């Protein structure tokens, strides 16, 4: 029986001018920065055919573990604001950012941190970041929410409120795709206590991208990760022996399946192996939200999916124990610090 998901180690073209403007799925995916056509599935989350939508999400999660969603209902203006306030924070003087630093003795990951190196002679991570929970409201620790720019708090709270609809629809479709009730997966990761952990990754131009791999290939510890990128390439997904560039679609959300959904589905859905890299000339920024079960939530294969012919492939354990077990085997400096 598996103890944990084993793959890896644990991430402007313009914008639509109106929040109700629709993107055509067949026109959304074109080319990546290396000139090859992206094969990452793109799914219209506003598809009125619920059976087709469920099938598309289930197939993408089973075959890829990653997909992009368009027409998701989060206004493009709000995504632009989210990107704007995040960028403004990382452009502040270093001493202002350090006011939100993660305490050295903290057991939690919330707060600001940096792995930028002045000299690019050794292979190092090349990223500034900040973590803080945005949902549920009771989990928010405003000690780690920047006060500058002044609209940062308002924008992030509004984004969290809007994201809830996307999260609920994804969990429902993933559950139905497994042949279980629509509420099954969300309840299995905490229901209304599911935590939305926002991380902003800030990769400034890097003089030696070959020596600064960003984040090494990893799967996410979370159940699902929902990511807003900027228009600078740098996210790679792995499928078999191929690495595939995840191309930029204005205002789309990138959805990755994490370890907990793979475990709950007893391996039917796959946590995607992926990595992030900096750019030599441009600043790359991303806004992933990790949907984490509460620390004491026990996560294991759904009982509805296991039987004598399909035994559990993963051991049920508390989420905090899973995280500790996995991170113990990893080099934490590549992931969090």
CA–CA distance, 292 with 222 (Å, rounded to integer): 5
CA–CA distance, 116 with 122 (Å, rounded to integer): 12
- Catalytic residue selected from 129, 199, 317, 326: 199
**Residue 328 CB coordination number (10 Å):** 8
Is 220 one of the annotated active-site residues of the chain? yes
- Residues comprising the chain, all counted: 337
- Catalytic residue selected from 72, 124, 169, 218: 218
- Catalytic residue selected from 220, 245, 259, 292: 220
Joined together, the tokens standing for residue 236 give 């790679």
The sheet that has 235-239: what strands, in order across it?
215-218, 273-276, 235-239, 242-245
Which of 294, 290, 230, 247 is CA-nearest to residue 79?
230
CA–CA distance, 40 with 324 (Å, rounded to integer): 31
Please state the pTM of the whole predicted model.
Answer: 0.86
Contact 236, 246 (CB under 8 A): yes
Residue-range domain boundaries for the chain: 25-334
Class of domain 25-334: mainly beta
CA–CA distance, 225 with 189 (Å, rounded to integer): 13
- Catalytic residue selected from 124, 129, 169, 274: 274
Is 218 one of the annotated active-site residues of the chain? yes
Q: Note down pLDDT in tens along the chain; length 337 residues.
A: 555 565 443 332 222 223 334 444 433 333 333 434 457 999 999 999 999 999 999 999 999 999 999 999 999 999 999 999 999 999 999 999 999 999 988 889 999 998 654 444 444 557 899 999 999 999 999 999 999 999 999 999 999 999 999 999 999 999 999 999 999 999 999 999 999 999 999 998 887 776 665 567 889 999 999 999 999 988 999 998 899 999 999 999 999 999 999 999 999 999 999 988 888 889 999 999 999 999 999 999 999 999 999 999 999 999 999 998 887 766 554 444 3
70 DSSP β-pair partners: 44
3-class DSSP state of 93: coil
Joined together, the tokens standing for residue 286 give 């991303």
Q: Indicate the burial class of 281 (C-beta count within 10 angstroms; 0-12, 13-18, 19 or more).
A: exposed
């Amino acid at each position: 029986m598996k103890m944990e998901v084993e793959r890896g180690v644990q991430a402007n073209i313009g914008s639509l001018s109106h929040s109700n403007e629709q993107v055509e799925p067949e026109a959304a995916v074109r080319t990546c920065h290396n000139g090859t056509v992206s094969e990452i599935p793109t799914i219209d989350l506003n598809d009125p055919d619920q059976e087709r939508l469920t099938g598309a999400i289930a197939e993408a999660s089973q075959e890829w573990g990653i997909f992009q969603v368009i027409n998701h209902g989060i206004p493009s203006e709000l995504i632009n604001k989210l990107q704007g306030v995040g960028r403004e924070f990382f452009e502040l003087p270093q001493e202002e950012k350090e006011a939100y630093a993660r305490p050295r003795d903290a057991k939690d990951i919330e707060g600001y941190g940096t792995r930028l190196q002045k000299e690019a002679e050794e292979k190092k991570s090349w990223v500034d970041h900040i973590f803080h929970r945005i949902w549920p409201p009771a989990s928010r620790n405003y000690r780690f929410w920047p006060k500058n720019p002044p609209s940062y708090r308002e924008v992030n709270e509004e984004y969290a409120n809007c994201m809830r609809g996307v999260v609920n629809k994804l969990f429902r479709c993933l559950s139905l795709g497994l042949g279980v009730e629509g509420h099954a997966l969300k309840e299995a990761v905490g229901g209304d206590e599911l935590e939305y952990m926002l991380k902003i990754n800030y990769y400034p131009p890097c003089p030696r991208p070959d020596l600064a791999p960003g984040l090494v290939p990893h799967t996410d510890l979370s159940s699902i990760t929902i990511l807003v990128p900027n228009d600078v390439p740098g996210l790679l997904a792995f499928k078999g022996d191929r690495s595939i560039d995840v191309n930029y679609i204005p205002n789309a959300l990138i959805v990755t399946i994490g370890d907990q959904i793979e475990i709950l589905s007893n391996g039917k859905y796959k946590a995607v192996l992926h990595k992030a890299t900096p750019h030599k000339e441009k600043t790359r920024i991303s806004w992933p939200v990790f949907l984490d079960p509460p620390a004491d939530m026990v996560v294991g294969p759904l009982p509805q999916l296991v039987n004598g012919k399909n035994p559990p492939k993963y051991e049920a354990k508390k989420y905090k124990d899973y995280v500790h077990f996995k991170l113990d085997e990893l080099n934490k400096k590549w992931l969090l610090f």
